Amino acid sequence: MSDPILLLKDRLLRAGISLRAASRYCAELSDHRDDLIDHLQAQGMAPDAARAEALKRLGSPTQLALPMLVDRRNRSLVARWPMVFFAGLPLLAQALASALPVVVFGFAARRFLPDTRLPDVASAIALSWLILPVAIGWLAVAAANRRRCALRWPLLGAAVGVMLGTALQLDVVVPMAGAAGSISVAFGLPSLLPLLVLLALVLLPVYLRPHFGDLR
Amino acid sequence: MAQSNPHFLNGVPELLVLRLLSDREMYGYELVQAIRDATGDSIVLAEGVVYPMLHGLERDGALQSRRQTVAGRSRVYYSVTPAGSDRFARLAETWRELNRAIGSLLGEPSRV
């Protein structure tokens, strides 16, 4: 990473400055640098020399970062409470996204869904409970990485999500002649194989993109 | 090249920025150049100071900004709001009082 402004953005994000504030500051500094280069070239300086002089005038990433760090209003809420944003909220989202299909399923089963389709729909919902924690976990890891936040909270949240997803069980009893059907949700002991496979999937982005590996 | 001068500058950058933006809207680079020109290079604000200050003043409601693309380059133009004008008037008055007080002190012969 040779561009000092990219380096500055990285440093600001790691220091807990909000993504919005850091992006805006760096974008304006980039424009400023380009204006300065144009100005110096207009004065007769060679392009490379103009760029070097402009960067020198802007100062080092440390000098540029300091005024942003001094103002506490630039601090990101996400950086202050990473556990809430990268573990709590994803788990809440998973819980809501897992509960909603069951509610809709129950409503549809009573009103219009043919009894013969009930097991298929139940299987689809059970499958979604396995996909959800992985998808939400990936999103949380990507969001944390974009903000240069530590990955321990999104990974922990995703691991808990995977355990919950694999522990959830949906049982459907199709109505028979003279006997009412039922839809029930319960927590059980998760099966080891799906648990391990899903945990490995959650960790996949960290393996595929080595710079994701900041596990502070 | 003029050196930036961090001493004696507490509150001065804000005063200068509000004063210059009272005349017309400017973008960051333009503002830095305007400060250099207006002060004859006596005051050179570091870029690392200017932008966070502009963002802080905007957050306080003293400035407003608008984005405009000029010759393919996106620029953020800042201008003073009515709250910013009031803030400038208060800062300018404080500065004048301080200036009078220090001028008076420096003008007196030492009693030591």
> What DSSP string describes B48-71?
HHHHHHHHHHHHTTSEEEEEEEET
Q: Which residues of A touch B76 (CB under 8 A)?
A: 28
Same domain (yes/no): A160, A194: yes
pLDDT of residue B112: 47
Greater model confidence, A27 or B6: A27
Q: What is the pLDDT of residues B45-82, one digit of tens each?
A: 887 788 999 999 999 999 999 998 887 788 899 999 99
Instruction: Choose among B28, B55, B56: nearest Cβ to A32.
Output: B28
Decide if B96 is inside a domain: yes
Instruction: Report the chain A residue with the minimal C-alpha distance to residue B76.
Output: A28
Q: How confident is the model at residue A22 (pLDDT cuts 50, 70, 90)?
A: very high
Which among A24, A35, A63 is the nearest to B48, CB-wise? Answer: A63
Determine the 3-state secondary structure of B24 from DSSP. Answer: coil
CATH number of the domain where residue B47 is located = 1.10.10.10
Residue A214 clears pLDDT 80, i.e. is over it = no
Predicted ipTM of the assembly: 0.79
Q: Please answer yes or no on whether A36 and B59 come within 8 Å at the CB atom.
A: no
State the average pLDDT over residues B1-14: 62
Q: Measured between alpha carbons, how far is A141 from A162 in angstroms, rounded to an integer?
A: 14
The answer as to whether B24 is a domain residue is yes
Is A44 in the same domain as A111? no
When divided into structural domains, chain B yields a total of 1
Which of 13-72 (A) contact B at CB < 8 A? Answer: 21, 24-25, 27-29, 31-32, 34-36, 57-59, 63-68, 70-71
Question: Residues A111, A169: one domain?
Answer: yes
- The boundaries of the domain holding residue A47 are 4-76
Q: How close does chain A come to B69, measured CA to CA in Å? A: 11
Residue B48's domain comprises 12-107
Q: Domain check: are A107 and A148 in the same one?
A: yes
Can you read off the two tokens belonging to residue B74? 């996106």
Arithmetic mean of pLDDT, A19-30:
92
Same domain, A86 and A119: yes
pLDDT computed for residue B27 by the predictor: 93
Residue A51 has pLDDT above 70, yes or no: yes
Residue A104 sits in the same domain as residue A44: no
Q: What is the pLDDT of residue B1?
A: 45
Q: Give yes or no for residue A148 having a pLDDT over 60.
A: yes
With respect to residue B4, please indicate whether it lies within any of the assigned structural domains: no
Whether residue A176 contacts residue A182, with contact meaning beta carbons closer than 8 Å, is answered with no
| Domain count within chain A | 2
Q: Tell whether A52 and A105 lie within a shared domain.
A: no
Question: In the prediction, which pLDDT does B8 show?
Answer: 55
